[in-house]
Amino acid sequence: MKQGPKTAVPDTPFDDLGLAVSCHEPLARHTWLGIGGSAAFFCEPVDVEALGRVVKRCQERGIPLRVIGGGSNILVPASGFAGMVVRLSAPQFCAIDVQRPAISAGAGAKLVHLVSAAVQAGLSGLETLVGVPGTVGGAVVGNAEGHGGDLGGRVREVRIMLPTGDVEVRSGARLAFRSRWSNLDDGVVVGCRLELDEESPAQLTKRMQKEWIVQRSEQPSGARSVAMMFKDPHGTTAESLVNQAGGRDLRVGEASVYAAHANYVVAHPGCSSDDVRGLVEAVRARVRERLGVELTPQIEMW
Ligand SMILES: Cc1cc2nc3c(=O)[nH]c(=O)nc-3n(C[C@H](O)[C@H](O)[C@H](O)COP(=O)(O)OP(=O)(O)OC[C@H]3O[C@@H](n4cnc5c(N)ncnc54)[C@H](O)[C@@H]3O)c2cc1C
């Protein structure tokens, strides 16, 4: 029997979408802790339309989908993630646009770039977030907090892509932010608009520098193999509770509590995701046993 021309058999469920999708992408490359397994599929769409095609395909085929921002608040297990991970690193997702007193930012923009752009433009309200690592998307979804201010308090509008691939604009009562929490858990945040206050850039720069010094004195500097363990409970800090409970010397495998700030875990060379998870649980148990307080993990376990 005569055979017709061979039709290419797709290797992934995304091959006909016209995007670069990689398989078995090591997620350790994209997280602050630098550990964890691979994503079955990974892509960095070039624009909202391309993102929409991926999101819709995942929905149609029942493929789990996650977004990775700066990777500063996630712990990936050694088994990795059996689905699609998208990263909004393309220029279209990273734009920052000042329209005084508002400012719009793409979800892929670094939070530090947004804070600097606001300060340079003489717009205040974000400078307390100066030391928070990660992206605007991660900060909006997790309502990042600095000293005395959160991002959610300034967010007026969020563009979110639904599992159908359609983008919805949410504002007002449809947005809810609480301490380190938002109700934006049903899609991919694409961008947001914030409303800020006018202030002299010189004064703002001074304030931001002060904040920066405070943040740097409290946070592990330079090291990328760290993560914040717990949310601060109302009226106190997780750090002081861990210290009071005698948790600062705890170590599990190659994961230990950061000596200079007891609310951070450090992943030493050879550390596994199980070590980090074990340490977070050990510290949590110590605080529970000694102080009767149940700490809520800040780091998200994938
Ligand atoms: C040294 C250090 C200091 C820190 N200091 C602070 C601090 O002062 N205050 C504070 O609040 N936090 C702090 N954190 C925690 C962390 O930086 C914040 O939670 C940050 O906002 C996470 O942003 P990210 O882009 O890295 O998110 P990721 O870690 O990449 O992701 C976190 C979660 O957000 C989701 N996500 C990310 N982008 C999107 C998107 N576009 N759409 C939908 N979901 C998305 C991810 O799927 C994941 O569920 C600190 C962490 C470290 C390591």
Domains, the chain, ranges and CATH? 17-87 (3.30.43.10), 94-206+210-216 (3.30.465.10), 221-301 (3.90.78.10)
Matching residue, tokens 């800020």: 196
Residues 181-201: tens digit of each pLDDT: 999 999 999 999 999 999 988
Asked whether the beta carbons of 271 and 199 are under 8 A apart, the reply is no
Q: What is the pLDDT of residues 53-72, one digit of tens each?
A: 999 999 999 999 999 999 99
Average pLDDT over residues 6-35: 88
pLDDT for res 222: 60
pTM: 0.93
pLDDT-derived band of residue 1, with 50, 70 and 90 as boundaries?
Answer: very low
Bridge partners of residue 188, in order along the sequence: 161
Confidence of residue 149 (pLDDT cuts 50, 70, 90): confident
106 Cβ closer than 6 Å to some ligand 1 atom: no
Exposed, middle or buried, 31 (CB in 10 Å: 0-12/13-18/19+)? buried
Residue 7 has pLDDT above 80, yes or no: no
In this prediction, residue 250 has a pLDDT band, given cuts at 50, 70 and 90, of: very high
Kindly indicate the confidence band of residue 220, based on its pLDDT and cuts at 50, 70 and 90: confident
State if residue 132 touches ligand 1 by the CB under 6 angstroms criterion. yes
Indicate if 286 belongs to the active site.
no
pLDDT, position 2: 47
Q: What is the mean pLDDT of residues 239-267?
A: 95
Which residues does residue 160 pair with via DSSP β-bridges, in sequence order? Answer: 168, 189
Cα 148 to ligand 1 centre (Å): 18
Q: What does the longest C-alpha to C-alpha distance in the chain come to?
A: 82
Query: Could you give the CA distance from residue 277 to residue 236 in angstroms, rounded to a whole number?
Result: 23
pLDDT given for residue 6 in this prediction: 53
Q: For residue 221, what pLDDT band results from cuts at 50, 70 and 90?
A: low
Residue 213 has pLDDT above 60, yes or no: yes
The mean pLDDT value of the chain amounts to 93
Cα–Cα distance for residue pair 58/201, rounded to 1 Å: 45
Question: Is residue 115 lining ligand 1, measured as CB closer than 6 Å?
Answer: no
Asked if residues 109 and 96 have their Cβ atoms less than 8 Å apart, the reply is: yes
The single residue of 180, 248, 277, 286 carrying the catalytic annotation is 180
Q: Which one-letter amino acid corresponds to residue 88? A: L
Give percent above pLDDT 90 in the chain. 84
Per-residue pLDDT for 207 more than 90? no
**pLDDT higher at 229 or 149:** 229
- Whose alpha carbon is nearest atom 6 of ligand 1? 132
Q: Which of 32, 94, 228, 265 for a ligand 1 pocket mutation test, highest count of atoms within 8 Å of Cβ?
A: 228
